[in-house]
Structure 1
Amino acid sequence: MDNQIKTAAEAAESDALPRCHEVHSDPDQPKASAENLPKSVKAEPVAKKSAAQWAYERTVLYLKNFEEQLDNEHEVAMGFTGGDAGVLRIEGMGYFDPDIVTFYGTDPTGGRTQLVQHVSQLSVMLRALPKAKEGSKPNRIGFRLVEDLEKSQEAVS
């Protein structure tokens, strides 16, 4: 705790800002952080967001951070926990207020796949898979999702 005196506005802003903390065994490991959140995510106070929107925005941050660590031969995918559902190569993501998050993609056989999940059950294991198409550029959905968040904020402003 610091001994800094804050104005009421600074205290309210501090309470509205998201907090994120990570520690890794490798100190050079890139971390997801609240500082890396797109301006559009920081612009709206957390208290005004639905559970679905807030879960979506933070998952986008983790996706982008994960992709930044991949080489050009791998793409992000999502592993399912429990059961024998397998892996979904993430090709899209969305949310439906107030409490649903959805992932779109393909399974390892190329079959279209969609996961619709309540935010209270959200559990995403990010995985690196070899690119779906050899010789092509890797699909970077996290970067496109962040770009979309930024465009959404510009449209509101």
Structure 2
Amino acid sequence: MTDPIRTSAEAMEDAALPRAHAVHTDPHASCAETEPMPAAMTGKPQKAKSPAEWAYQRMILYIRNFEKGLDNDHEVAMALAGDATGVMRIEGMGYFDPDIVTFYGRDPTGARTQLIQHVSRLSVLLRAMPKARQEAEPERIGFRLAADLEEGTTAGEGPPIPGA
């Protein structure tokens, strides 16, 4: 079978769209790479995004997908892969163009933490942690982040930077 003939516009569009792929031992496993991408991620060419915006958007997909597999007794937390800084319950995430991604949260003792990471060093381990309060519903930051992404509040659409 031969490939269909495509217009140059279709070829350019294909080159601009993000690509993802994953293989898992369980063929029915949920993987962020196989989930449909939100329109906010495909509406703007990848080349037009800063490394920080692009890393932020993809982390949202991974966190949301990870949370889909959690029960009501656990929330998502993270640790830096290959680092001894410990684990942080993720309460928020952001980016600062062109190359900084930041995570807001709490460590296992409840102390407030913030990780500021250059995109070239981004290597995150997602981990399930018991909820901070047993009586509360689990916090699902990935779904809040995805909703924010769908509302289009990224890439210069947020509040202006003070003093800029």
Distance 1:42 1:134, change over 3 A: same
- Normalised TM-score (structure 2): 0.89
Q: CA deviation at 1:124?
A: 0.7
Give, in whole Å, the separation in 2 of the partners of 1:115 and 1:54. 18
In structure 2, what is the equivalent of residue 63 of structure 1?
Answer: 63
Identity of matched residues, %: 59
Q: CA deviation at 1:142?
A: 0.5
Q: 2:59 matched to 1:21?
A: no
In structure 1, what is the equivalent of residue 146 of structure 2?
Answer: 146
Deviations 1:59-109 (Å, cap 9, x if unpaired)?
100001100111111100001234431100000000000000000000000
In structure 2, what is the equivalent of residue 10 of structure 1?
Answer: 10
Distance 1:35 1:107, change over 3 A: closer
Q: Alignment partner of 1:67: what SS?
A: helix
Runs of 5+ unmatched residues, structure 1 = none
Give, in whole Å, the separation in 1 of the partners of 2:34 and 2:47. 16
Q: Name the amino acid aligned to 1:13.
A: E
Give, in whole Å, the separation in 2 of the partners of 1:33 and 1:2. 27
CA contact (8 A) 2:75 2:139 kept: yes
Q: CA deviation at 1:34?
A: 6.1
Give, in whole Å, the separation in 2 of the partners of 1:92 and 1:120. 20
Give, in whole Å, the separation in 2 of the partners of 1:19 and 1:34. 10
In structure 1, what is the equivalent of residue 73 of structure 2?
Answer: 73
Give, in whole Å, the separation in 1 of the partners of 2:65 and 2:4. 32
Higher normalized helix content (fraction of residues): 1
Runs of 5+ unmatched residues, structure 2 = 158-164
- Normalised TM-score (structure 1): 0.93
Distance 1:10 1:78, change over 3 A: same
Q: Alignment partner of 1:105: what SS?
A: strand
In structure 1, what is the equivalent of residue 30 of structure 2?
Answer: 30
Q: Alignment partner of 2:23: what SS?
A: coil
Q: CA deviation at 1:26?
A: 0.9
Deviating 4+ runs (over 4 angstroms)? none
Q: Alignment partner of 1:15: what SS?
A: helix
Q: CA RMSD in A?
A: 1.8
Q: Name the amino acid aligned to 1:133.
A: R
Q: Alignment partner of 1:62: what SS?
A: helix
Q: 2:126 matched to 1:103?
A: no
> Which is further off, 29-38 or 66-75?
29-38
Give, in whole Å, the separation in 2 of the partners of 1:153 and 1:53. 11
